[in-house]
Structure 1
Amino acid sequence: MGFDFDGCIREVPGISVDCFTKHKFDECSTFFLSHCHSDHMTGLFDGFLSNFQSNKKLKLFCTVESEIILRNMASIDGIDATAALNRTVTKMVFDREYDLDIDGLPVTATAIRAKHCAGSCMFLFKTEYSNVLYTGDFRYYPKQLRHISALRDFHIYKIPLDTIYLDTTFLLGRLQSYPTKKRAFRFIKKEIRQFRQKNPNGIVHIKRPANLGSELMIRVLARVFKTKIHVEDKLCELYKDIDYVRPFLTNDPSETFIHLLPMVCVSILMVVRYSFLLDLTS
């Protein structure tokens, strides 16, 4: 998240996006969550648990998958968030317009796939005065932009955007040439194949950069190498209701040679047999 963004969409007063700090509940009653990475969830559980009882107007908009993940996160951490989520959450379907009334201002909100992690989205806000796009974290390439139907009028003409709230996390000089997912997966598959040819019983450890975001890699590696991917119990629980990921996972390390784990677990497992480590966090 940019350090100068405080969650406020200036063109739509009364809403906050990816910001749930306590003072926001004095200003806003309608909140939007783009995805379930911790830097976009600051104060969410604390804020909703402490405010939803007293603020009957409190609303939270997120995608269907993000709502599932929120529930699983709360359960894993022992947080009783069921009542708050049941009452406040609107589960948004991608590319469907939702008509809202924000303090008397008619607003149309649309969740657009962000291709970042499970459930991630961008938000398009339309009012009679302006069209505003909030990107959050996203992973699009120029050729893919033409296929975003929500940014076109009847899928033909580009709609004008008056304001873009652009997440610039990776706007760094050293990342001017950012590899495509296809190129990255090609490299990972090649490295694993070469390692396994030399060490047929070797173990592959992949250091993941975050709990969410490796869904496509999990599916690709599981299918290519015809094996499940080992993750710890917590991640199995997090993905338990995500149908396109959970079948490819196992919490039994003896069931596979590919382990997708945080660094602390990798350090422990490295002492076992011949090992190969792929660090995806650098």
Structure 2
Amino acid sequence: MTQGSIAVDRFLPENASSCTAYFLSHCHADHMRGLNEVSFSAHIASKADHFIYCSEVSAQILKNLMRDNESVLAKIQTLTLGPNLVQVPILDSDYQLDLVVTLIPAGHCLGSCM
């Protein structure tokens, strides 16, 4: 069984096919590279169980920045501060991993989390 990988602040084409969950720590351009690329948008749109996870504030910023990219907008899942259950699909399988992801404010900018 092949497991999927988790990408943090990495939405580039070379990792899209091996990742099944994407996390955005905050909305600075260097952390969002690849989010608006056609290949990433097409990839994530084709996967019903793949999502982009971020804080509520980052989700609002992202929705404003990506308002013309329906593929990405449809895949944004907000996480609250503290523990969150995230179900990460396993590649080429009907199974998933249940992970507890705990968001801690980073204090770097609005919506930034560790």
Q: TM-score range by the shorter chain?
A: 0.7 to 0.9
Partner of 2:36 in structure 1? Answer: 45
Is 1:114 aligned to residue 109 of structure 2?
no
* CA contact 1:29–1:59 (8 Å) conserved in 2: yes
Structure 1 Cα separation of the partners of residues 47 and 21 of structure 2:
11
Residue 70 of structure 1, CA deviation: 0.8
Give 1:93 shift.
0.8
Choose which of 65, 72, 89 in structure 1 pairs with 2:57: 65
Which one has the bigger helix percentage?
A: 1
Are the equivalent residues in 1 in contact too, given 2:24–2:52 (CA < 8 A)?
yes
Partner SS state of residue 71, structure 1: helix
Cα distance per residue 1:8-67 (max 9 Å; x no partner)? xxxx95211000000211101210000001111110121542323322232110011111
For 2:86 and 2:47, how far apart are their aligned partners in 1?
Answer: 21
- Stretches of 4+ moved more than 6 A in 1? none
TM-fit CA distance, 1:72? 1.4
Whole-Å Cα distance in 2 between the matches of residues 71 and 101 of structure 1?
Answer: 22
TM (norm. structure 1) is 0.35
Distance 2:64 2:86 in 1: 28
SS at match of 2:16: helix
2:24 to 16, 23, 33: 33
Query: Tell me, which stretches of 5 or more residues in structure 2 are unaligned?
Result: 91-95
The answer to whether the 8 Å contact 1:100/1:107 transfers is yes
Provide the aligned length of Structure 1 versus Structure 2: 106
Aligned match for 2:77, one of 90, 109, 121: 90
2: CA distance, partners of 1:54 / 1:102: 14
Higher RCO (C-alpha under 8 Å, 6+ residues apart) = 2
- Structure 1 runs not aligned, ≥5 long: 1-11, 123-282
Name the CA distance, whole Å, in 2 between partners of 1:96 and 1:108: 6
| Change over 3 Å in CA distance of 1:68–1:114 after alignment to 2 | same
1:97 partner SS: strand
- How big is the alpha-carbon RMSD for the aligned residues of Structure 1 and Structure 2? 2.0
Contact kept? 2:88, 2:99, Cα under 8 Å: yes
